[in-house]
Amino acid sequence: MFTRINKYTLLLCVIILLGALARISGINWDSGFHFHPDERMLIMVADRIHFWSQMNPDFFNYGSLPVYVLVGISQSIDWFFGTMFNNYDGLLIVGRWISTIADLMVVLLVYKIALQLSHKKNTALWSAFFYAVAFFPIQNSHFFIVDTFLNLFSTLLIYQLLVFRNNPSYRRVILIGITFATAITSKVSAILFLPVILLVLLYPPPQHENIVQKILHLFQKKVLHNSQGILTILKKDMLRLVLFGLVSLAFSFLFMPYAFIEYKRFMSDILQQLKMNSDPYIFPYTLQYVDTLPYWYYLKNIFLWGLGPVISMLGIIGLIRLIYPKYQLQTTKYIFLLFYLIYFLVIGRSAVKFMRYMLLMYPLFAVLAGYGVSAIQNSKFKLHSLNHLPIKVSRLPVLFSVVIIIASVFWTSLFLNIYSRPNTRIQATAWINQFIPPGSVLGVEHWDDRVPIFDPGNYKYVELTLYDLPDDQNKINRHYRALQSVDYVIIASNRLYTPLQKLDDCVQYKKCYP
């Protein structure tokens, strides 16, 4: 018979195991062909780095820490086991396993955060479960991208802040500084967490006086003009800030040294990314986001696909439970919600809306869904009105839990079915190589990964430059001539035809394809 503690520990282990199985399912989903464009770029950057002879990534669109972690682990594996992972193909395999491990650590952190907030292991277990089975984190675990690192370190950061709030110490300030450095050297957008960090470090925990109360106390005692007295009162609060700043700066340099050494290039790359996020017309592949609604675009896709309706509805119930006036919103819960609210308000209004930008919101949604289940389970039903049901009332909570688990797992399993067969580009390539005669001329669209993905030299290619402007009769004539020499037109995805069909009004759109 398990003790109460052992039971919860066992259930948490089962949840983490379930999350692990979902994340390693189809981890080699592209058969090593590097189909994910951001992952491919990061692997290319990692492939030119070698400890300790060549450390300059020469690329600052994203942070350097994930790349250094990947190269360091790959080189270490090769050194210990005599393998060959520190190369373009090997880095892909190691990178995806690192992403999987990082996301499983988030499952554990979600449990610990929910426990900090609710002090109920039942709520914490539900929160961990919902994150473990939410499809969008599972999907992103199949890629080596900086967002999985940012998600891990931002989740660790909010956990550190909540722990500090309940038990402040200089040791915890140092850990907060290091964690913030890991987040910002994974992706610069982590700078958005700085206001909440400063708020937590300056706003004293419950057992201490509020800083405003301290100053008012000084006024009452008429010692406000005594600067030494003011410094004594504020010394501890300011020391926290100084310590945090120094630790963050030092570890940021350690984790991303070339951002300081080549700061002009670093700033140029960051400004280019900011420009892209404010203008969907800047790159062809961002035209898909023209006219998408801020905030709503993200929320709609999270509700329908990333979490699914079941977890999403429970999250809404949990949010109401957390902020409903009947319940006192504790400071820790306020900090937790503010941490994610600031990020969502800033990133949610960006013009370019890659869904991976919202990955680090999923720990919040999982915790809210955990609260939602607990709120339903703790509701005081009028049980006498349920006597007509063909099941004992005492079994309803168990039945409810089973239904929620099955519904959540079923939704995710539908998406995991993607990994049960070869990627569609691989299937299409096999078909082309089998049925299209050698020597044929294939018309392929630019700004997309070409299909067939591997060709032993059977075919010739004509590139169709459909993004080119102006979209006029000359363009039609040019493509008409190109098509005269083409035997087959290969449309590899909807990357071009979906946004180009939408952008048909030259009055409404800055770039148009009438």
Which amino acid, residue 295? Y
Mean pLDDT across 354-380: 92
3-state secondary structure of 430: helix
Model pLDDT, residue 237? 75
Look at residue 221 and tell me whether its pLDDT is greater than 70: no
**CA dihedral of residues 312, 318, 324, 329 (deg, nearest 10):** -130
Kindly tell me if the per-residue pLDDT of 366 is higher than 80. Answer: yes
Which neighbouring-strand residues pair with 461?
442
Look at 335 and 210; give whichever has higher pLDDT: 335
pLDDT one-digit tens code per residue, 117-165:
999 999 999 999 999 999 999 999 999 999 999 999 999 999 999 999 9
Q: Are 345 and 299 in contact (CB under 8 A)?
A: no
The structure tokens listed for 295 are 């905030």
Burial class of residue 176 in the structure, from the number of CB atoms within 10 Å of its CB (0-12 exposed, 13-18 middle, 19+ buried): buried
pLDDT range class, residue 225, cuts 50, 70, 90: low
Helices 65-81 and 146-166 sit at what angle, rounded to 10 degrees?
110
Using alpha carbons, select from 89, 9, 80, 84 the residue that is nearest to residue 47. Answer: 89
* pLDDT computed for residue 203 by the predictor: 77
70: pLDDT strictly greater than 80: yes
334-341 long-range contacts, CB within 8 A, separation 24+: 335/158, 335/161, 335/162, 335/165, 335/196, 335/199, 335/200, 336/113, 336/117, 336/158, 336/162, 336/364, 336/367, 337/364, 338/196, 338/199, 339/158, 339/161, 339/193, 339/196, 340/158, 340/364
- Asked whether residue 228 carries a pLDDT value surpassing 80, the answer given is no
- Average pLDDT score over residue span 177-193: 97
Amino acid symbol at 408: S
What's the pLDDT at 211?
47
Residue 3 has pLDDT above 70, yes or no: no
pLDDT confidence of 384, banded at 50, 70, 90? very low
What span, in angstroms and rounded, lies between the C-alpha atoms of 376 and 114? 17
Least-confidence region, from 50-54, 95-99, 378-382 = 378-382
Q: Which two tokens stand for residue 179?
A: 């964690």
Which of helix, strand or coil describes residue 50? strand
**Using CA atoms, how far apart are residues 97 and 69, in angstroms rounded to an integer?**
12
pLDDT of residue 378: 80
Buried b (16+ CB within 10 A) or exposed e, 219-233: eeeeeeeeeeeeeeb
Percent of the chain's residues with pLDDT above 90:
79
Report the C-alpha gap between 393 and 433 in whole angstroms.
62
Other Cβ atoms within 10 Å of 10 Cβ, number: 11
Question: Mean pLDDT throughout 350-361?
Answer: 95
Query: Across 51-55, 203-207, 228-232, which has the greatest mean pLDDT?
Result: 51-55
Q: Are the C-beta atoms of residues 273 and 86 closer than 8 Å to each other?
A: no
Tokens for 450, please give them. 């070409």
